[in-house]
Amino acid sequence: MNLSLQLLSGLAVGCIYSLVAVGFSMVYRAMGLVNFAQGDLMMVGAFVGYSIIISAPALPFWLVVPFAAALTASLGYVIAQSALWPAIQRGASQTYLVLLTLGIGIVLSNGARLIWGANPRVYPIPLTHETIRVGQYPVPAVYPLIGLTMVVLIVGLHLLFTRTWLGLALRAAADDAQTASIMGVNRRFASAASFALASGIGAAAGVLYAPITFVSADMGMLGIKAFAAAVLGSLGSIPGSVIGGLVIGIGETLGGQLVSSEYQDSLAFLLMIGILLVKPTGLMGKRG
Amino acid sequence: MVLARIGIFATLLLSFASSAMAKDFPVGFFGPLSGPAAAYGSESLAGAQLALEEINAGYLGSDKIKLIPADDTASPGVAAQAVQRMIDIDDVVAVVGGSTSAGTAAAIEVTKEAKVPQLSPLAVDSALTLANNPWFARIAQSSTTWAERTAEWLKKDKGAKSAYLLVRNDNFGIPLADAFEKRAKEIGLELKGKIAYEPTSREFRPTLATVASAKPDYIVLWGYYTEAGLMAKQMAEMQIKFPFYVGSAIGIDQYREIAGPSAEGTYGLLYYLAGSIETDAGKKFVQKWNERYHRTPTQYEGMGYDAMYVLADAMKRAAAKGGISKQTIRDEIFNTKAFQGATGPITILSNGDAQRPLPMAELVDGKVKLDTLLK
């Protein structure tokens, strides 16, 4: 089978990893914690997208993405305000916070099972089973949409953080919380807004990933690979997360094709270990 | 006049006596009624409940069965606890269950210890009957039989010369693949390769590319319906066209949803296929199910229905021979010979395994159609 086809698949899946990894990095920068519920927020977003499609079948798919992202971002905001910020304020240790996000992830996963049921859900849209031709290769029709969304979101984030008061406030709070708060930036709001933004981006990834496979309550497991991507690119770096996701996505697909398809999942992590051994700070990390 | 009164009095006395002798026999049922494997438990329970209605309408004379269902959530620990509770608190005379091999394996230890007969409608793992446990039997074929019949069908019915195995790397897929491989070697069906994939995988393109390069006559999958659906879908996307065998996934709606149009033409082996059994019992069951639910019964509903009937039939024979007890029910379950069930004739072998037909099916125009009824 032609490697170009595998490369396209790797790129598409890599984009999904990248988007979830961006969420990891954003929360890490803003709140100083690793949010292990990020994968489950992606899963919730995918289920929310499913409900939107069922409720409004006439709605174009490209509009489902922002709607699901907005609703999941609201959930993220509530989680940050009601669970994470109080714990941070009480001086919870990193270990406690990691366990807290793991617990939130489990609650989200079981909650989704209660609301949407245990059976996998398939997006009932033509896009789920449509293919298009890229050059001489047949690829799922959702691939270009994934690539386009990825570019739009990254450009949008860049503009948000460099051109808007909200973005500058979020960056300031992430870089130097004390000074930012003296300058009038509400730390609690900034942290919750970052968490909400990360949840929304994760949800967009979930909605885009759903037509490739299906939606299920254990979909959050993908978060493990996205976390690896974020670490590979340097946790906290948004460009690094994007590169890390693409490296993991392409690495596992090409590795599965060229080395062994039985160990394609392991190969992605082996690649991560190899790169981190050479560059312990990650691809975009700086020494010191 | 006096004689007439005596007659009426005698009749009343007899009816009182017989109703006083009529008993409600508690029977346990366990399986996953919630969680990811809920379809197996809830559907087989629905079938069992329909059978129970008929059984309690006079199949056992004035005696009745009182069903005590429990949800094991597909967890072996919960299954064992649920069965222990049925035995300790409800004093069940028999247990119907489980619906998964892991849950059944856990419950077997409890029923064996308490000497309570257990009859499983769906558990297929060959290891369950290897120990010759005298208190456990099943009406489903063992995984070894499923795999061997599939290899034989490929070779003899389809004229296949080669196959490529895709195996879910766990205790569901590996025993099936091993049994298939062994039988394939015996009958001269060439194995072009075997790939064991991780149960969490969703990206099968590299695997499918490897399979395609080997050019097998058939691709045989021993895995779950979600993986089967994704593989069929990704094969279509990659324009890989090989006949694809997916096991019992073919009878599951979600498989067809995930695979979409690419599910067309896939093959699979089912526990039971409505309409494939041309006996009176088979026709009557499908007709009654259609009347009540306005659809044909699923494979799990059929198996639940027959499991309850095999148990009731054993109880009926035990009553005729002198009395219903845990021991006599057990003896008569193991004496079941060619019971004419809705899902076909069922014989329980001395090790607790079942001898029954297996329908090999194909998806044609989105419908599961019988290919061959494997004896």
The CATH number of residue A133's host domain is 1.10.3470
pLDDT of residue B36: 64
Confidence of residue B295 (pLDDT cuts 50, 70, 90): very high
Please report the pLDDT score of residue A244 as a whole number.
94
Mean pLDDT of chain A: 91
B374 close contact with A: CB closer than 8 A: no
Whether residue A288 lies inside any domain: the answer is no
pLDDT surpassing 80 at residue A207? yes
**Helix, strand, coil: what percent of chain A each, to 5?**
75, 5, 20
Where b means 16+ CB within 10 Å and e means fewer, B72-81 reads: bbbbbebbbb
Distances (CA, A) of A248 to A265, A273, B143: 9, 11, 37
Residues in chain A closer than 8 A to B236 (CB atoms): 129, 131
The average pLDDT across A250-271 equals 83
Whether B340 has a pLDDT exceeding 90, the answer reads: yes
Provide the pLDDT for residue B4.
53
B241 touching A (Cβ < 8 Å): no
CB contact A38 to B (< 8 Å): no
DSSP secondary structure letters along B128-175: GGTT--TTEEESSPPHHHHHHHHHHIIIIIS---EEEEEEESSTTHHH
**pLDDT(B16) > 80:** no
- Interval A85-104 mean pLDDT: 92
Q: What is the pLDDT of residue B20?
A: 45
Assess A131–B contact: CB distance below 8 Å, yes or no.
Answer: yes
Q: How many domains does chain A have?
A: 1
Mean pLDDT of all residues in A255-280: 83
Residue A286 belongs to a domain:
no
CB of B238 within 8 Å of a chain A CB? The answer is yes
Query: How many Å apart are CA B364 and CA A210, to the nearest integer?
Result: 27
Domain of residue A197 covers 3-278
The H or E element containing residue B95 is strand B94-96
Four-CA torsion A91, A196, A164, A146, nearest 10 degrees: 140
**pLDDT band of B277, cuts 50, 70, 90:** confident
- Give dist(CA B157, CA B187) in Å, integer: 13
**Is A180 domain-assigned?**
yes
Q: Considering the domain boundaries, does residue A284 fall inside one?
A: no
CB contact under 8 Å between A256 and B207, yes or no, is yes
Q: Which of A4, A119, A222 to mutate to test the interface with B (most CBs of B within 10 A)?
A: A119
| 3-state secondary structure (DSSP) of residue A175 | helix
Distance, in Å, from the CA atom of B309 to the CA atom of A4, rounded to the nearest integer, reads 57
CA of A181 to nearest chain B CA: how many angstroms apart?
Answer: 44
Nearest CA to CA, how far is A204 from chain B (Å)? 19
A213·B230 Cβ contact <8 A: yes
Tell which wins on pLDDT, A283 or A53: A53
CB contact under 8 A, B35 and A113: yes
At a CB cut-off of 8 Å and minimum separation 6, what does B236 contact?
A129, A131, B259, B260, B261, B262
From the list B203, B233, B236, which residue is nearest A253 (CB)?
B203
Mapping DSSP onto H, E and C, the string for B304-351 reads HHHHHHHHHHHHHHHHHCCCCCHHHHHHHHHCCCCEEECCEEEEECCC
Cα–Cα distance for residue pair A48/A54, rounded to 1 Å: 10
What average pLDDT does this structure show over B253-278? 92
Cβ neighbours around A239 below 10 Å, total = 15
Whether residue A12 is predicted with pLDDT greater than 80 in this model: the reply is yes
Look at residue B12 in the predicted model and tell me its pLDDT: 44
Chain B residue nearest residue A140, CA to CA: B237
Among A83-87, A263-267, B284-288, name the one with the lowest average pLDDT. Answer: A263-267
| Mean pLDDT computed over B254-262 | 93
Instruction: Report whether pLDDT(A61) > 90.
Output: yes
Identify the closest residue of chain A to B202 by CA–CA distance.
A213
**What is the band of A287 on the pLDDT scale with cuts at 50, 70, 90?**
low
pLDDT tens digits, residue range B47-103?
A: 999 999 999 999 999 999 999 999 998 889 999 999 999 999 999 999 999 998 889
Local confidence band at A267 (pLDDT 50, 70, 90 cut-offs):
confident
pLDDT of residue A198: 96
Q: With beta carbons under 8 A apart, name residues in chain B contacting A264.
A: 201, 203, 206-207
CA distance A158 to A168: 11
Structure tokens at A52: 């939107």
Per-residue buried b or exposed e for B275-302, using 16+ beta carbons within 10 Å of the residue's own CB: ebbeeebbeebbebbeeeeeeebbbbbb
In a domain, A98, yes or no: yes
Q: What is the pLDDT of residues A24-55, one digit of tens each?
A: 999 998 888 899 999 999 999 999 999 999 99
Amino acid at A164: T
Confirm whether A283 is domain-assigned. Answer: no
Specify the pLDDT at position B375.
Answer: 76
Write down the mean pLDDT value for chain B.
91
What's the pLDDT at B19?
45
Which residues of chain B are within 8 Å of residue A215 when distances are taken between CB atoms?
none
A110 interfacial to chain B (CB closer than 8 Å): no
A126 and chain B in contact, CB less than 8 A: no
What length is written for chain B?
375
For the entire predicted model, the pTM comes to 0.84
Question: Is B229 touching A (CB cutoff 8 A)?
Answer: yes
**What is the rounded CA–CA span in Å between residue B375 and residue B271?**
12
Q: Between the CA atoms of B171, B172, B176 and B178, what dihedral angle is there, to the nearest 10 degrees?
A: -20
A120-134, B14-28, B109-123: which is most confident: B109-123
In a domain? residue A252: yes
C-alpha to C-alpha distance for A150 and A265, rounded to whole angstroms: 23
d(CA A110, CA B338): 45
In a domain, A145, yes or no: yes
The pLDDT of residue B137 is 97
pLDDT at A262 over 80: no
CA A55 to chain centre: 25
- Across the interface, which of B205, B236, B262 has its CB nearest the CB of A9? B205
Cα–Cα distances in angstroms (integers) from residue A84 to residues A28, A72, B205, B308, in the given order? 13, 16, 39, 52
| pLDDT computed for residue B7 by the predictor | 53
